[in-house]
Structure 1
Amino acid sequence: MSSQSNTRATRPLMVWVCHDGRAGHISQLKGLTKALARQTNIEELWLDSQTLQVGFRGLLLPTKQDNSPDIIIGAGHGTHKSLLMLARTHRAKSFVIMKPSLPLPLFDGVICPEHDGLANSERVMTTQGPITKISPPPNTKRTQHLMMIGGPSKHFV
């Protein structure tokens, strides 16, 4: 077993969460980090892409340190460039929620609702609707359904 594997086994999964300040995107990111935390021990660092200062130096000399992220997750088109720069700088995996505005191969993973029009693949996982913080109660038989209708959308009239 490599020393990197030993180090990883003794510390939580370091997750950097890159957001654009929009409430819907933050809610989806919280839902995803909550789901991750149910699966493994994580440590989160939240970063506002609007105030991030990401330079090109890290692209030339990427490093991996003990406090570097293992994965960086972003939501919102305004986070994509910062997310990719940070992932490259810190040799971290990059994941984006929703269909990215940049080419898919630039990201390690994409999580998006079916209505974004991307097919499931090794790189893409589709969901039915957006990710939320709400978890259904365990072992509950559903006899009623709830439909939530949001605000303006390019998908609906």
Structure 2
Amino acid sequence: MAESPLTIWAVSDGRAGIEAQAVGLAQAVARRRPAQVEVKTVRWKGRWGRLPWRLIPLSALAPASAIAPPWPDVWIAAGRATLPLSTRVRRWSQGRTFVVQVQHPRTSLSHYDLVVPPRHDGLTGPNVFPITGAPQRLTAERLAQDLARFADRIRPLPAPRVAVLIGGKSKAHDLSPARAAAMGAEIAQAVSRAHGSVLVTFSRRTPQPARRALTEALGALPGWIWDETGENPYFAFLAAADVILVTEDSTNLATEAAFTGKPVQLLSMDGRSKKLAAFHADLAERGALRSFRGRLETWAYPPLDETGLAAEELLRRLDGRRT
């Protein structure tokens, strides 16, 4: 008889960048093994979620989170909000659930069957599988499908088409109006010199003054600056790009850009992060990333599919535990 499909929960607090990591890994597993993926969003009542995770009582879990038995075959979680649950689900399931935590959990590794942190965190252990960057949702098929959906808008744009992926404020970085204006001027000059076009998308974290400054600087170029109306063309931008420019604040953006095999150039921001600098050095060593210094560059490298490697490792360990 055929084996029943795996049940996989992808668990996060629902923030786009965090959820994408859990969902991306879950979907990569499902592409390799029959599986049913269910996305779970953890919500804590009132202000409980702002406390250190060890102080959050399970009674504070909002019913809408729908974290209850029957427990899945595989639990894939990302983010601090999931830790009060991830550290207990193996016990709740009497050891049946294979527990995976994406990112560095900052707690004992004994709670997990597998931890998938970014390599730049430096975490090691017998149940640790570090990857370059973070798990992501992209596939070659998804890129092609999204490009086809937006082809009428993108195809007429002159090459080189330059995807510009703008992040924003974080603990380590910011994007001031002055830096945004300077960044926009540098990009505009480089694209104009190449007689190309731009495909620009902003993050929810992009400050409005920076967004306005970049829109003003790049608005006269051929291209598309997505204003968040209508369907999101982000994946189509990646698929159509000849060169991808990405701000230095986001692991997800750079990881997804490197999956395409396109040249990825890093845009500097206000602030600095040692960990992100290590991540960028890792991407550069893999041949995917160079700094943007006022001109567009082209080169080739093997596309990075670290999510696929993590999915294969997960299944290898899951199968090993079952034998």
TM score, norm. by length of structure 1? 0.71
Q: 1:41 aligns with which of 31, 34, 45?
A: 34
Offset of residue 82 of structure 1: 1.0
Q: Is 1:16 aligned to 2:9, yes or no? A: yes
Offset of residue 68 of structure 1: 3.1
CA offsets per residue over residues 11-59 of structure 1, 9 Å max, x none? 111112221122111111121112101110111222222259957xxxx
Q: 2:136 aligns with which of 132, 135, 140?
A: 132
Q: Is 1:84 aligned to 2:77, yes or no? A: no
Q: 1:115 aligns with which of 116, 120, 132?
A: 120
Offset of residue 136 of structure 1: 4.8
Q: Is the 8 A contact 2:118 2:131 kept in 1?
A: yes
Higher helix share: 2
Q: Is the 8 A contact 2:7 2:72 kept in 1?
A: yes
Q: Is 1:145 aligned to 2:263, yes or no? A: yes
Offset of residue 150 of structure 1: 9.2
Q: Is the 8 A contact 1:74 1:97 kept in 2?
A: yes
Measured on the aligned residues, the alpha-carbon RMSD in Å equals 3.0
Q: Is the 8 A contact 2:11 2:76 kept in 1?
A: yes
Residue type of the alignment partner of 1:32: L
Offset of residue 153 of structure 1: 6.7
Q: 1:153 to 1:109 in 2, by over 3 A?
A: farther
Identity %: 24
Offset of residue 147 of structure 1: 3.9
Structure 2 matches for 1:48-63, cutoff 5 A? Answer: 48-51=41-44, 54=58
State the aligned residue count. 135
Give the match for residue 71 of structure 1: 74
Q: 1:111 to 1:75 in 2, by over 3 A?
A: same
Q: 2:106 aligns with which of 101, 112, 130?
A: 101
Give the match for residue 62 of structure 1: none
